[in-house]
Chains A and B, each alone.
Chain A
Amino acid sequence: MDEKRTAWERLQLVHTKGRPTIKDYIPQIFTDFYEMHGDRLCGDDKAILGGIGRLDGRPVTIIAQVKGRDINENKACNFAMPHPEGYRKALRLARQAEKFHRPIICFIDTPGAFCGVAAEERGQGEAIAKNIAEFMTLRTPIISIVLGEGGSGGALALGVCDELAMLENAEYSVLSPRGFASILWKDASREQEASEIMKITAEDMVRLGVAEAIIEEPLGGAHNDLDKISENIKEYLSQKIPEKCQKDIDVLLKERYTKFRKIGAFTE
C-alpha cells in the first residue's frame, strides 16, 4: 500500500484518465457474462449495467454503474449518472437474483443520480427509495464495492448490502465536495477544503461503520495495473461470497438491518 494520501489526492486519482471501469473488470473477474437490459417499464439506462455471470463457477448477478473510458462512452452512459429506469432495472435484476438464489454483487461508481427534468418526471426519488427499502430485505446475499466515486443517494441505491468494500482510493460521500462547498459555504472553489472535512476516504468509511473492507490498489493507483487490482477484487469476492452464501438467510438479513441500524451519533 502507498503511503497515506489525503482525501483530495485520492479524489484526483479517482478521476485519473485510465482508471479501470466495470467494463474492464468484468472479463477479468467473471466468466460467462451475459448482460441484461431494461427495466420493463420505460427504457434501458446505459448508466447501469446488469447481468449474470460466474464467479469461480458460481452463478452471480452483477449490477454496476458504468463510467465511460472516453467521451463517446461517457455520452452513452451519461457519465455514470443513472436515471430512474437504471435503478428500476437494478431492482428487477436483484429480484431475479433472489428468485434464482444467486448472490448479488454491486459495483458503485457514480458522481450521483442524474439531476434533470426527465429524471424528476419519472420519479428519481421514488426509484432510489424503493431500491434502498427492497434491497434491505432481499433474501439473497449482497456485496457492494465502491470502485471510484460513491456519490450520494445515487450510490446508496446500490449500496444496501451485507458487506461494503472500498477500493483503497475510492470515496463515498453525501455529496461531491464541490457541491458541499457550494451549499454550505456558497463557494464551490473551496472543494479541496470540503474534501478533507467531509470524511470520505476508505478508512473513514471503515471507522464510521459504513464499510467493512478496503481492497488494496497497486502502487500509484488502480490504473497502473489492471491485472493486479482485478486479482485483489476477485480475491475479496471469492472469500466473501461463499462465506455469505453459507449463512442462514434470516441471520444474514438481521445482520444487514443492524449494520445500517447502528449508524448515527446522538445522546438522550
Chain B
Amino acid sequence: MFEGFFNVVKERFNGAEEEYKPPMFKCPRCTQTSPLSRYEELHRVCPKCNYHGRLSSQERIAITVDKDSFKELDGGMKSGNPLDFPDYSEKQAELQNKTGLNDAVITGTATIKGSPVVIGIMDSRFMMGSMGSVVGEKITRAFEYATEKGLPVVMFTASGGARMQEGIVSLMQMAKTSGAVKLHSDAGGLYISVMTDPTTGGVTASFASLGDIIIAEPKVLIGFAGRRVIEGTIKQRLPEDFQLAEFMHEKGFVDMIVERRKMRSVLSHLLKLHGFYPKEKEV
C-alpha cells in the first residue's frame, strides 16, 4: 500500500533537479527522524527510541484480535449536543466524514487467539479521544454486556480527557463508566486496561485506572493533569520522562509495559490464566 504512494512521489520528482527524499517520521519523544516507511512497518513504533505511536482503531483491531472475529456493538451511536454548544454538531459531522468514525471509541466482541473478549478501542483521531456521551455510553454498555455474559473486557485507552463541548455531561460519564466497571468487577469479571498514547484527564481518573491488570505501551503519555498545567503551577520545566509509561510503572500505577509486537500474545496468556480458553481447539 505504501509502495504505491512511494511511486507516486517518485514520479512526481522525476525530472526535478533536487534529489528525491523519502517521507520521514519525526518522533515526538526522541525528536529523531526515521523513514516513515520503517515506522509504518513497525506498526508505528519509533525505530530509534521505541516510542509506541498512535494507531487508528481499525489498525489496532487488525493487529490484536483474530481475523474476522470482531463484531461491533452500538456502531451507529452518534452524539447529541446536550449543552447546545455552538458548532459542536458541525464539528462532529466533519470528523465523521474525515475519519469514518462516529465517535472516539469502537466497542465489540472478538476472540484473541481463540479466547472470547469484549473489547473497546479509543481513537485519538476523533476529538483527541475525548469522552462525551457516546464514549461514556458505549463503554458502559460494553461492561454491562460483559457482566451479563460473564466475559472479560480488554480496553485500549487513548484520550485527552473530557469532551469540553459536553461540559458537566462529559464529567458524569466518568461516574457512569466507573460504575459499570465496578459492577463487572463485583460480579467476578476480569478487566485488562491497556493504556496507549495518550491516556490522560478524565479517562485516567475513571475506567482506565480501574483495570485488574493495567498494561501500558512503551513511552506513551499517562497522567491526570496536563504537563503544561503542572509546569504553570510549579513554574519550572518538568523532566522529559515525567508522566511516561515507564514513570507510572516505576511509581506503581502500571503492572507491566508491553511492546506492541508482543501485546496479542500477552493478552492471550493473561486471558487463559483467568480461565478464558478458546471454545474449540486452541488456535
A interface vs B, CB < 8 Å? Answer: 113, 115-117, 119-126, 128-130, 132-134, 136-137, 152-153, 156, 159-160, 172-175, 179-180, 183-184, 197-200, 204-205, 208, 210, 257, 260-261, 263-268
Contacts and interface: CB of A to CB of B under 8 A. Distances in A.
Interface in B53-99: 74, 76-83, 85-86
A265 B79 contact: yes
B183 interface: yes
Contacts of B170: 174
Contact of B176 (A116, A152, A204, A261): A261
Q: Which A-B residue pairs are the 5 nearest by beta carbons? A: A265-B80, A125-B204, A115-B225, A264-B133, A265-B82
Nearest to B77: A268
A153 B134 contact: no
A27 B82 CA distance: 40
B168 A200 contact: yes
A154 B86 CA distance: 27
B83 A156 contact: no
Contacts of A130: 209-210
B112 to A, nearest CB: 25
11 contacts: A124-B224, A125-B205, A128-B205, A129-B204, A136-B175, A137-B183, A260-B176, A261-B140, A264-B172, A264-B176, A266-B134
A52 B133 CA distance: 37
A132 B174 contact: yes
A250 B165 CA distance: 35
Contacts of A152: 162, 171, 202
B167 A136 contact: no
A264 B174 contact: no
Contacts of B208: 125, 129
A136 B162 contact: no
Given A116-B233, A180-B164, A128 B224 contact: yes
Contacts of A159: 175
Contact of A125 (B82, B86, B133, B209): B209
Nearest to B251: A121
B234 to A, nearest CB: 6
A248 B174 CA distance: 26
A268 B76 contact: yes
B223 to A, nearest CB: 6
Given A126-B209, A128-B205, A266-B79, A257 B134 contact: no
Nearest to A157: B205
A175 B201 CA distance: 11
B206 A197 contact: no
A153 B170 CA distance: 11
B205 A115 contact: no
Given A115-B229, A129-B206, A268 B133 contact: no
Contacts of B185: 133
Contacts of A113: 205, 224-225
Contacts of A115: 224-226, 229-230, 233
Contact of B83 (A117, A172, A199): A199
